[in-house]
Structure 1
Amino acid sequence: MEQALVSHAVIDQAIGALSVLGPLAPGDGFTVLREISQHTNTRLIDIAEQVLTHGQGAALPAVLQTELQAALARHTTPPAGGSTERKS
């Protein structure tokens, strides 16, 4: 039971860290973690721990970095106001 609570806390913290990396809609943080886990065949808790370590300045393994960028691209919400292009 204690292990489950610790795992849940780590996953929740990683979801919070992901919300800093990209403007995710509510609930998409877990989806991003799950997708990375599935695409890399890595336990979800291990992904969450690596995301937290990355948030503290450590580098992510290349395969996780690639999957993280792809998952964030699929799930980030566009900035308010539409286009990101500068108007002259």
Structure 2
Amino acid sequence: MVDQAIGMVVALGRVSPDQGWTVLREVSQRTNIKLRSVADMILVWGRTGRLPAEVRTVLEEVLDRLGPTQIPGAPPQG
């Protein structure tokens, strides 16, 4: 499950697999949500488009640090 979530982050965030792992770990730490739970949320997001706002915000922040990214379904950045 974690590997699949890393794959989604890699594909959608246009980052390397190592960076994908780092993104997942940091989102987990910053939201105080277990890594497996964050991974599950990412997979559900891939199927349904739904991701808790807190997780989406931190995910965007971490990916933005690695380079400009527009997460699908996120409001346009201005």
Correspondence 1:49 to 2:48: no
- Higher-Rg member (1/2): 1
TM-score (norm 1): 0.71
Correspondence 1:13 to 2:8: no
Kindly provide the amino acid, as one letter, of the partner of residue 33 in structure 2.
T
Unpaired runs of at least 5, structure 1: 1-9, 79-88
**1:13 Cα deviation after fit:** 0.3
Q: How many residues align?
A: 69
Q: State whether residues 25 and 75 of structure 1, in contact with CA within 8 Å, keep that contact through their aligned partners in structure 2.
A: no
**1:42 Cα deviation after fit:** 0.5
Correspondence 1:23 to 2:14: yes
Unpaired runs of at least 5, structure 2: 70-78
Superposition map of 1:54-73 within 5 A: 54-73=45-64
**1:58 Cα deviation after fit:** 3.6
CA distance in 2, matches of 1:76, 1:20: 14
Distance 1:67 1:73, change over 3 A: same
Tell which has more relative contact order, 1 or 2 (C-alpha 8 A, sep 6+). 1
Q: Between the two proteins, what is the percent identity of the paired residues?
A: 42
Superposition map of 1:28-43 within 5 A: 28-43=19-34
